[in-house]
Amino acid sequence: MAGAPAVGTILDFLKLSEGLKRELRHSWLSDGRRESVAEHSWQMALMAILVHPHLEEPVDLGRTLEMIVVHDLVEALVGDVPYFDTSERKRLKQAREAAAILEIEARLGPPTGERIKALFLEFEARVTPEARFAGALDNLEVQIQHNLADFSTWTDAEYTLIYDKIERPCAYDPFLTALCKAIQAEAEAKLRAGGIEPARETAAPPG
């Protein structure tokens, strides 16, 4: 049957990608359930649609969305590692993800596997306008979700991540900077409501 090998490859890969629905992040939803990697990516995609018309430098929305959809695909193989993790798993994260994207490329075969790998590497490099935009959204979405979650889910390390971790990726664009400040204001209000006075620290968490 024409196209049968491609159909089988796609179905097999979709079974692998289902892991992103099951892989849980260190983020909680407003109802107390932990967020999955797939849910994080979906929210990033929605943010891209809403925010991209306001950017000073135009981006290709289609390419940005492709990048967002694939940027965490490696976690279907190696799992999610929190930003502030200091374990051996964090130290090996980059190498394990590099191996995982090569496995994904091989599973899909050319040309699709090559395209997925290229999108992943473009996102990681943060050089193109689309990659910088997607990278900024990756950080902003995390803080938006933290702001929606119960304060009891926040760790001490997360009290200062509302500053440099989300400011730097947004600094290149006025609208992203304004969005970042609004998200920070909500985070600071949440900290104060939890009895913590917001404060910057000069030492960033490892990683």
Q: What is the pLDDT of residue 196?
A: 95
CA distance 171 to 110: 37
- Please write the tens of the pLDDT for every residue from 3-37: 555 999 999 999 999 999 999 999 999 999 999 99
Average pLDDT of the residues of the chain: 92
Question: Is a pLDDT exceeding 60 seen at residue 204?
Answer: no
First to last CA, the chain: 50
- Please write the tens of the pLDDT for every residue from 46-71: 999 999 999 999 999 999 999 999 99
Phi, psi (degrees; rounded to nearest 5) at 198: -60, 135
Structure tokens at 146: 């933290």
Beta bridge partners of 28: 34
Nearest alpha-carbon partner for 76 in 107, 38, 111, 44: 38
Domains of the chain: 15-193 (1.10.3210.10)
Structure tokens at 202: 């000069």
Percent of the chain with pLDDT over 90: 83
